[in-house]
Amino acid sequence: MRDNLIIRALQPRDAQEWRRLRLEALQTCPTAFSSSYEDARQQDLAAFAAHIPRTGKPSILLGAFDGKALCGSVGVHVSANPTLSHRGEIWGVYVAPAFRGTGVATALMHAAIAHARTHVALVQLSVGTDNHAARSLYRSLGFERYGIERRALRIDGFDYDHELMALHFDP
């Protein structure tokens, strides 16, 4: 892993950098996300800032910075609904291509898991069945498959299945 890597919660002031990274993610890996590049690029900076959870809440959006540049991100969403607030959802995991294989994704996931562990009993995620690198990372972190969502996404007329995974924090 890079020595100058900093992982921290994103703030609204980071919206421009996060918008840049998110648009890159949606454009380069369209089958990895349920949002589309076309829809996201039409959103202004204020819309991106509004998606960044406020500090002190169970939900968080973490960023990995190599120096001053945002090179990766991961979100943890925790529902405000009391019947769902015992579980979190990992979303939006992305590392810029130049930083893949350097430990950035692992560091981001460790930070997301550490945060989630203080707020929920388990975290869940969904990953494309064809995304072998991500599935391997999640398994190495203790995530276990609990199902397959057939035809989870349809992009350009093609359907993509997703593996549903969870990490339980209960003893």
Say which CATH number the domain at 163 has: 3.40.630.30
The pLDDT of residue 2: 61
pLDDT above 60 (res 1): no
Please give the model's pTM, rounded to 2 decimal places.
0.94
Domain count, the chain: 1
CA 50 to chain CA centroid, nearest Å: 16
Chain segment 123-135, per-residue pLDDT in tens: 999 999 999 999 9
The pLDDT of residue 167: 98
Contact assessment for residue 103 and residue 72, using Cβ atoms and an 8 Å cutoff: no
Quick one: pLDDT band at residue 55, thresholds 50, 70, 90? confident
Q: How far is CA 129 from CA 8, 17, 46, 47, 134, in A?
A: 29, 29, 33, 30, 9
Q: Which domain holds residue 152?
A: 5-168
- The tokens describing 77, both together, are 């969403």
Scan for tokens 């454009």, then name that residue: 27
pLDDT above 90 (res 54): no
